[in-house]
A and B are shown apart, each in its own frame.
Chain A
Amino acid sequence: MFQTLAVRKAQGTQYIADLRAAQPSGFRGKPVIATDACAPNCRACADICPSNAIQLNASTADAVAIDLGRCVLCGDCAPVCPSQKISFNNDVKLCATTRRGLVVSAAHPNIDPIAVSAALKKRFGRSLKLRSVSAGGCNGCEMEVNAWGNVNFDIGRYGIDLVASPRHADGIVLTGVVNRNMMDALQIAWQAVPEPKLLIAVGACAISGGVFAESETLAREFMDQYPPTLYVPGCPAHPLTFISGIMDLLGIAG
């Protein structure tokens, strides 16, 4: 009894009161691309990128573009750039509702803010039940999805929960590359979710295949067939990235 109380006292109050304002210390998050010109014929950043996330258009003023749908936030491009054009800040607000919206460059430094969907807000704004499916994941994003509901992030406070059955769910949280060995199970789980439903792609693997995009084990027809409602970049996606994105999409005041 006294031991229980002592542990409870040590636990204190852990929840982050203002999730939108939270800025994780040290997080290697959004890439920032400076306007300086590239060194002639330099491809150092694109060559070292493990997931082909960097597009070079040397002929234009906006020479370097990073696709956060592919980027794993590894940071390896920053030190190899002789012009020191690339750095990373701790911004977690990386979500987008379109695939094209995930590309940042010097001319387009911020991801477009997510507009509140009136339809989604009306239907799911106070209760959103999600089923997690890992299809060729590495347990990184899966652990971060688990953290959404822990004592720090506590998204349950907004009625967002992960549920056991797809039949109880309003949508699927997809992590992993979508590989041949899981594609049938993913399809069955998706079909078991009643309409209307949404797909949330969490992490670079789910969005693009990430560092595994060139593997012959991938079978991503599912992604072509069912475009995600929300893209949540990262490797793994930081809990606050998802939380800020879903709060914006559903118009949750916070």
Chain B
Amino acid sequence: MTHTPRQAWAQVDLKTFPLLSTSELVAQCIQGLEANFVLISWFGRAALATEPAGVVVTAVLLPPGQPLVLLRGHAQPGAHYPSLTASFAGAQIFERELWEQTGLVPDGHPWLKPVRYEGARQGRMGEYPFFKVRGAEVHEVGVGPIHAGVIEPGHFRFMCHGERVHHLEIQLGYQHRGVEALLLKKPPQHLTPLVESMVGDSAVAYAWAFNSGLESLTNRPVALATIASRAIGLELERLAIHLSTLGGLATDTAYLQAAATYGRLRTAIINASQRACGNRFGRGWIRPGAAAPIGEPLRQDLLATLAAFLPDFVQVNTLMRSSRSVQARFQGVGTLTTQAALDLGVTGVVARASGVALDLRHSLPGAVYAAFAPAAHTETSGDCWARMSQRMQEAQASAQWLIDRLADTALNLADTPAPFAPLAPSAPGGCSGGWSLTPQALCVSLVEGVRGPVLLALETDASGQLAHAKVQDPSLANWYGEAFALRGQAISDFPICNKSFDLSYCGNDL
């Protein structure tokens, strides 16, 4: 390669990085958004003891075809600022979270309600200020937090006019475990098991995002084989969760043959992950500076598993897509138009199913995805059918990508430091010593997980200790897209809409 591919992280030296006023920060963000930058994140933290009182706000923007852009601003305690949401609806959830976590008030925000009931609001779930619809033939249906299936908790309030859903409001926070605070309690090189438990179905994506940040802050770049092994773990995870969602979609339409088949196919994939790293959910695949080595027997094993998997997967997809009852149930239901997807700032697989071609594996690929880009795919119709088709296509592309990479012996997939190689306690590698962090630095790292961009932002203080950690799941931005897609639909469309979005509750709730 003649140039370094765009990395999925950005690190800045805070000693020299400009700290804008909030009005300048908002103005620069709006300028970027008007130039079609994607607002990846907008978050804040209380000032450190060594800083002037108030709140430090960070904006993360992705310009088309360019590396990540970071902007930082400072606000007085409890300050008001002109809401970004007023001109760009996609900022709504970030501004709500910033308000909930730091008390900064976005003036003109139409929907300033808690995101997850954290901090002093914990346990006050009953106080959520739902919107009210009034009028003849108007009624409300509340569902959850506990649902009929084995599923994470969340409350859904349907405001209906007759059978039609006029508006759905989703209240989350029930899975809140305080993960951001916990990241500051242990040495960072020991945190990967915690990070893997933040969103258990995306353990590889989270572990990779966290460790690439840690490796950047410690200036310890990893070998190509390590990156390749991580990408293989990530694509197996993507495949497994898409299979789980497709199985759920089949179950929710009582299409039991496809449900049983997707269940069987998913088992083959997660058991393959287990043979690689000891766990069906990819836990242990990634550690600081390390990734599961794929030696010759394992490489052959994974190749054989995927070679047996792919034709059966294509076969059941064809069957499911040919079913008239599946077509009738999914087509034209729960539509999120391309314009709505752009306006609301939804991301990942949901955005691509609505025709928004955003995938970090292409826009910020790093060394491996730059050399070997997975096949890109978008759908246009934005309905449940599009989200089902998008998942089928992405899963198939991942399986093919895995087969191609595993067949490529030039990648030397065994040539990576292993997560569980025995180390002398003082050795400078692996999980032991030698992980001192660059002081006064901020690293924002991203990984395109199964649902979209997983963000980990790590900031160090003057002594090189972690001073703040921000975690962001793609679901945070996408839940509102789901609520919006339900408008004008029947309540009975909710299960297939919810499953076709397949968002993370714990990823929102942290």
Pairwise interchain contact B267-A152, C-beta atoms closer than 8 A: yes
Residues of B within 8 A of A80 (CB): 423, 425, 431-432
Residue of B nearest to A141 (CB): B200
Specify which of B117, B148, B176, B318 is in contact with A136 (CB 8 Å cutoff): B176
> How far is A82 from B422 in the complex, measured between Cα atoms in Å?
8
Asked whether B48 is an interface residue with its Cβ less than 8 Å from the other chain, the reply is no
Pairwise interchain contact B145-A185, C-beta atoms closer than 8 A: yes
Asked whether B244 is an interface residue with its Cβ less than 8 Å from the other chain, the reply is yes
Residues of B within 8 A of A81 (CB): 422
Asked whether A117 is an interface residue with its Cβ less than 8 Å from the other chain, the reply is no
Residues of B within 8 A of A177 (CB): 177
Within 8 A of B (CB), among A180-208: 180-185, 189, 205
Chain B's nearest CB lies how many Å from the CB of A8? 7
> How far is A53 from B40 in the complex, measured between Cα atoms in Å?
37
Q: Which of B145, B146, B174 has the most CB of A within 10 A?
A: B146
- Interface 9-residue window, one of A19-27, A30-38, A223-231: A19-27
Residues of A within 8 A of B200 (CB): 137-143, 236
* Residues A139 and B191 in contact in the complex (CB < 8 Å), given A25-B271, A25-B275, A217-B178: no
Specify which of B174, B182, B283, B419 is in contact with A181 (CB 8 Å cutoff): B174
Pairwise interchain contact A28-B422, C-beta atoms closer than 8 A: no
> How far is A51 from B194 in the complex, measured between Cα atoms in Å?
9
Pairwise interchain contact A74-B193, C-beta atoms closer than 8 A: yes
Asked whether A44 is an interface residue with its Cβ less than 8 Å from the other chain, the reply is yes
The contact size tier of chain B is: 35 or more
Residues of B within 8 A of A78 (CB): 420, 422
Total count of chain A residues near the partner, CB < 8 A: 76
Residues of A within 8 A of B34 (CB): none
Chain B's nearest CB lies how many Å from the CB of A165? 8
> How far is A73 from B509 in the complex, measured between Cα atoms in Å?
24
Pairwise interchain contact A142-B152, C-beta atoms closer than 8 A: yes
Residues of A within 8 A of B316 (CB): 7, 10
Specify which of B174, B194, B280, B319 is in contact with A50 (CB 8 Å cutoff): B194
Pairwise interchain contact A6-B267, C-beta atoms closer than 8 A: no
Pairwise interchain contact A4-B257, C-beta atoms closer than 8 A: yes
- Interface 9-residue window, one of B228-236, B258-266, B438-446: B258-266
Pairwise interchain contact B319-A137, C-beta atoms closer than 8 A: no
Residues of A within 8 A of B421 (CB): 79
Pairwise interchain contact B284-A28, C-beta atoms closer than 8 A: yes
Pairwise interchain contact A137-B506, C-beta atoms closer than 8 A: yes
Since A138-B201, A205-B197 are in contact, a sample of 14 more A-B pairs with Cβ atoms closer than 8 Å, ordered by chain A residue number, is A4-B319, A82-B424, A84-B422, A133-B153, A136-B177, A141-B200, A144-B280, A179-B122, A179-B174, A180-B122, A181-B125, A181-B173, A181-B176, A215-B177
